[in-house]
Amino acid sequence: MLEILENFSHEGYEDIISSHGKDVHITEALNGNEKLGYIAYLYEKEKTVVYGLYDGGDIMLCDGLVRSVMFKSCMKGIDSIVFELPDESCYKNLIRLKFISDDSRVSENIERFMNGCENCKHKK
């Protein structure tokens, strides 16, 4: 069963932590003991910055990981996410899912984005 959980040990993420600081959060997508993907991010005062994302090319996994960070950011009153990913290929699924556009690495109004999904079930 797929679970998306925060990893508090940071084991295996030493490179990200050493580059961006000990306050970086790591959330993993797990199927039992198998790690399928992760997202690494840092909360700042007015934005969340994503420094790492691995979804194995699975668009649904990307969606779940990013939405988990969006939800947690909204709970902290943060309404934008900046993606500063080291590999350009990581942006492909983010653009396909409309988290960002081709010419921007920022997802703004994330609360409105999250609430917009409620309306989708009413559209036919």
pLDDT tens digits, 96-108: 999 999 899 999 8
Q: Which amino acid is at 63?
A: D
Half-sphere exposure of 34 (CA within 13 A, CB side): 5
The CATH number of 2-120 is 3.40.630.30
Sheet arrangement for strand 80-83: 2-7, 25-31, 34-43, 48-54, 80-83, 106-108
pLDDT digits (tens, 9 = 90+) for 44-80: 999 999 999 999 999 999 999 999 999 999 999 999 9
Helices in the chain by DSSP H: which ranges? 14-20, 59-75, 91-96, 110-120
Report the alpha-carbon distance of residue 106 to residue 46 in Å, rounded: 12
Please name the residue that has the structure tokens 């943060």: 78
The CA–CA distances, whole Å, from 87 to 8, 40, 84, 119 equal: 24, 14, 9, 33
What pLDDT does residue 121 have? 46
Chain-wide mean pLDDT for the chain? Answer: 89
Q: Where are the domains of the chain?
A: 2-120
- Is beta strand 80-83 parallel, antiparallel or unpaired with respect to 48-54? parallel
